[in-house]
Structure 1
């Protein structure tokens, strides 16, 4: 598995081994609240059981063979057993992981995906993470766990995900925009650089990402905007950093991807924090 994240900034990422190394769980659910400091990287690893990673503060990026998942606040990522993944946290944050024993993993699926976390699921995740690791598995707990799994299953999936591209022409474009999201090259200019027509490149973007180059770039910038907004940057600062001509154009692009303005997103997040 390859990744580009460690090359996207001038600061030094601190790589630390995965802290959770259990080989088996003795309960259906295992609670693990954690925090990550800024610019921490957890190298590639896998668990023999499932993991539901919920983000309460900050933005977590996870890379798997499927692609890159960007998990902002009030979202969660399901990672099935034995799926190798590595994590990056650019600005630090607070996370709540619920590890899931094998008996429930088949129902939750064998591919990683991100999901929206509503108030009820959020409350249930926080409740599990308050349990001691040796909690009594009595009948009320068993009923709670079943409802919890059902609630995860019913959570709407979302699109905070970018598939990997195997074509080297796309890899060059994607890597550059990861490093410099304010890059203003047109598709024609990219074509001159990588040796392909703009029509060919757009066809490749549709093939690998199911969207045009313009839509891919807009989505990527919107996800980076969430990371920057979550770090406390103003809308104008985010617009400048991502290469928008004005905060108004940034607002318009953000709303096109997330169906809400950046201001509404920040307000909504603060109310749920």
Structure 2
């Protein structure tokens, strides 16, 4: 089905430090790799977005958003029908948001600010109520908590290929020995390289990767039991325990 997309890059010439864009996407749409001159806060008011770069992947289920720094090449995949609210932030006000991709928690106040920002005219009044709203939005973004919903990719091509393959077909019981043997590396060399290049142990990365795969499936309404068993957990309870420990809530919250 054809759809009309508002390209955030069309806002580059708007003389405002922060601009907001709303888009509605059909299910399973993928946006090819692209960049923005401004930093982008990508929030899905409905559905789930998965952003990926050569350095890793980030997933934003309900009440989460992805921060993508200016100039970062990224692709975006929609899970379900997705309605986004994007905030394009100029470098002059984006300092506090950092220069790396991250997933941020979206409070009820921040969510309402994001929705309201998309209703403003492009050249809103900087000195009036609209300007104050945007200033508050940036303040709330800067204090939003970082949520561990990402998996970094190693810089060594062979290890990175294994990581990409794992995301396509998760195998939660894979061991360090299996990966190091498949790569023709010693166990110690593999573990050192993996931690150095991802900042995580292999076990931590594997768990995060399983979470990244599970969230879009949960948001699509798939049963928790089926997801848990597909990911190799002995029971839905074991999967739910891991999920709640990492995200602070039950997996059922992420189902439609």
TM-score per shorter chain, which class? 0.7 to 0.9
Query: Is the CA contact 2:6–2:21 (under 8 Å) kept in the aligned structure 1?
Result: no
Residue correspondence of structure 1 range 66-85 to structure 2 within 5 A: 66-85=55-74
Secondary structure class of the residue paired with 1:91:
strand
Aligned residue among 148, 154, 173 for 1:159? 148
Change (3 A) 1:17 1:93: closer
Q: Which runs of 5+ in 1 are unaligned?
A: 1-15
Partner of 1:185: 174
Aligned alpha-carbon RMSD (Å): 2.6
Cα distance in 1 for partners of 2:32, 2:5 equals 6
State the 1:126 CA deviation.
Answer: 1.1
What does the per-residue CA deviation read over 1:138-160, in whole Å, with 9 as the maximum and x for residues that have no partner?
42222222222111111112222
Query: Is the CA contact 2:150–2:208 (under 8 Å) kept in the aligned structure 1?
Result: no
Query: Is the CA contact 2:172–2:210 (under 8 Å) kept in the aligned structure 1?
Result: no
Between the two proteins, the alignment pairs up a number of residues equal to 253
1:228 aligns with 2:217: yes
Cα distance in 2 for partners of 1:91, 1:217 equals 25
What does the per-residue CA deviation read over 1:181-211, in whole Å, with 9 as the maximum and x for residues that have no partner?
1464322222322212333323332222222
Q: Which runs of 4+ in 1 moved over 6 A?
A: none
Deviates more, 1:78-87 or 1:212-221: 78-87
State the 1:65 CA deviation.
Answer: 4.4
1:62 aligns with 2:51: yes
Secondary structure class of the residue paired with 1:25:
coil
Aligned residue among 183, 201, 211 for 1:194? 183
TM-score by length of 1: 0.81
TM-score by length of 2: 0.86
What does the per-residue CA deviation read over 1:208-261, in whole Å, with 9 as the maximum and x for residues that have no partner?
222222221111111221111111111112113322222122112222322333
State the 1:77 CA deviation.
Answer: 2.0
